[in-house]
Amino acid sequence: MEGPFIRVEDTGEVVPLRPEITTIGRGRGVDVRLADPSVSRLHAEFIRRGPYLYVVDLGLSRNGTRVNGRPIARRVLDDGDVVSFGAARCRVGGIPREDFTPEVELRRAAAPELTRREVDVLTSLCRPALSDEAFVAPATAREIADDLVVTEAAVKQHLLRLYQKFRIPEGINRRTRLANEVVALGLVRPTPVVPPQRTAGPGESPPQTANRRAS
């Protein structure tokens, strides 16, 4: 087989990697689908750049990605490396060995300066992705607009500037890529919204707690 490929250890299946980006996860629509429940719906990507291949954890998976047992955010791969997505393991093959430095780790650029409104947009964008689901798509422009009580056009303008600031190229899953970068950098850590507890009105008894035993 010419070019890089992965061998899924559980099944022995050999999957050639696409010329540019190969998505991996257990959800529909990914290029390589793994059935293990510890794998997120959209877990990671293999990216080819010339003779190099690197894997990128998409930042929204609770079980993470490891290369030869080491947790990574993104890492250049060498022939024979074992990449783990949660509990699922794949061995990489078909990578040229010449002029290759497997210990090179691709570092993320420093976070750009952000306005307060841009931080608000990113927080709203990432909130669904940091829910209890293993992976949930980031908020749409319409959902962000409703959350921030602004126009959808204004949100789209903010997103365009944020794509430029974080150097997110045009293409599919652009909002997801932006959310991945923001979460991986630790810039946004939204917490689940807890609905306020209703106050008892005149003549009403306080609401019973969930763990109070019935008399």
Q: What is the pLDDT of residues 141-200, one digit of tens each?
A: 999 999 999 999 999 999 999 999 988 888 878 888 888 777 766 676 544 444 445 555
User: Tell me, what amino acid is at 99?
Assistant: D
Q: Does residue 215 surpass a pLDDT of 80? A: no
pTM: 0.49
Q: 85: pLDDT confidence band, cut at 50, 70 and 90?
A: very high
Q: Does residue 138 surpass a pLDDT of 80? A: yes
pLDDT recorded at residue 126: 84
Between strands 65-67 and 70-72, the pairing is: antiparallel
CB-based contacts of 124, cutoff 8 Å, min separation 6: 139, 143, 144, 147, 148
Mean pLDDT over residues 44-61, rounded?
85
pLDDT recorded at residue 80: 93
pLDDT recorded at residue 153: 96
Q: Does residue 102 surpass a pLDDT of 50? A: no
Average pLDDT, the chain: 79
User: Tell me, what amino acid is at 139?
Assistant: A
Burial of 18 (0-12, 13-18, 19+ CB in 10 A): middle
Q: Which of 71, 20, 29 is nearest to 50 (CA)?
A: 20
pLDDT recorded at residue 134: 42
Three-class SS of 131-163: CCCCCCCCCCHHHHHHHHCCCHHHHHHHHHHHH
pLDDT recorded at residue 195: 47
Output phi, psi for 193, to 5 deg.
-80, 125
Q: Does residue 125 surpass a pLDDT of 70? A: yes
| Residue bearing the bigger pLDDT, 66 or 208 | 66
